[in-house]
Amino acid sequence: MVICRFRSLLSLSKTNPFFLSSPSSSFSIRTFSSSQLPQHLQNVGFVGLGNMGSRMAINLVKAGYKLTVYDINSDVLKKFSQMGVSTKKTPYEVSEASDVIITMLPSSAHVIDVYTGPNGLLHGGKLLRPWLLIDSSTIDPQTSRELSATISNYTLKEKKGDQETPAKLEAPVSGSVIAAEAGTLTFMVGGSEEAFVAAKSILFSMGKSAIYCGGPGSGSAAKICNNLAMAVSMLGVSEALALGQSLGVSASTLTKIFNRSSARCWSSDAYNPVPGVMEGVPSSRDYNGGFASKLMVKDLNLAVESAKHAECKYPLTSQAQKIYSELCSGGHEARDFSCAFRHYYSGMDENQDHH
């Protein structure tokens, strides 16, 4: 049983306060050395060192984990090697060197390939070294569930206490590249609750919050729903601000009203889409950086397919998907998704006279 498998790991959490530490603890995990980590957590493998993954991996190094990494980008691997991090030529080599694996990849197809493809994490027959595999990619819930089922049929090369089979969690994140660098991500976790508890110290080395969502696939489902709400919210705020300016009310004035009224939301008070209204957000730097529109299209595609599979209505999802697809077709796929304000709705910004 899953509870039996994790009994020994949970007992460690009772005797080792770091094992279940969080950012609210009285000490900073950034200062820990590998000798202060539980032995079964010290060797961590990381596959996928893109904009998000590279920063998450660096925070693991800062937290004292002994890291082994792989990415298809040899230049990125060289940079990690220069930091003293062990690099490998395949995901399978990472798996053979690690007790815990974290993957951060662009799509379901990439995840399937890294796990089950030639020289993938599961390449070595039915025996695995890592006792825990965590996928932080944003993928469809069905793929997450299928991978969890596949991994449950494997056996550990070396038992971890009472645990004989490896565990799989999906833990997609909410937060930008800035949050990944600062270690303030939010993880939405699906899988065994016992595995979630055992993984908390690793997750809190990269984020400020980790929320357990339920069984396999639930973390991926939560992430899709979060990004769907984020897309629709951004479009609604953008449309309202564009309309308001056309009617003679400045975007800054409307933003003040929104943020003191019932329209307040993340898109208005933390990520305003109108250039000139808020500093430090993509709209203040010509929509460079942030969350690319092409990634929003990918996530909305996942939402549409999930809605079809669940036989749910999805009129707003469909419209948001259309708008962001048009943005990408118009050459804005690399710009932050808040660029919908300028390129779809109005072509205006706060510093122009629209009266």
Residues acting as catalytic residues: 223
Q: Which two tokens stand for residue 323?
A: 């708008």
Single-letter code of the amino acid located at 287: Y
Query: What is the residue whose two structure tokens read 């039996």?
Result: 4
Single-letter code of the amino acid located at 8: S
Q: Which two tokens stand for residue 163?
A: 């645990």
Tell me how far apart the alpha carbons of residues 114 and 135 are, in angstroms, rounded to a whole number: 11
- C-beta of residue 38 within 8 angstroms of C-beta of residue 63: no
Listed in sequence order, the DSSP H helices in the chain are 2-5, 7-15, 51-62, 74-82, 91-96, 108-116, 141-151, 177-182, 193-203, 218-246, 251-259, 266-269, 293-310, 315-327, 340
Q: Which two tokens stand for residue 309?
A: 């599979």
Q: Which two tokens stand for residue 81?
A: 């090697």
- C-beta of residue 304 within 8 angstroms of C-beta of residue 321: yes
Closest CA to 30 of 17, 21, 38: 21
- C-beta of residue 349 within 8 angstroms of C-beta of residue 339: no
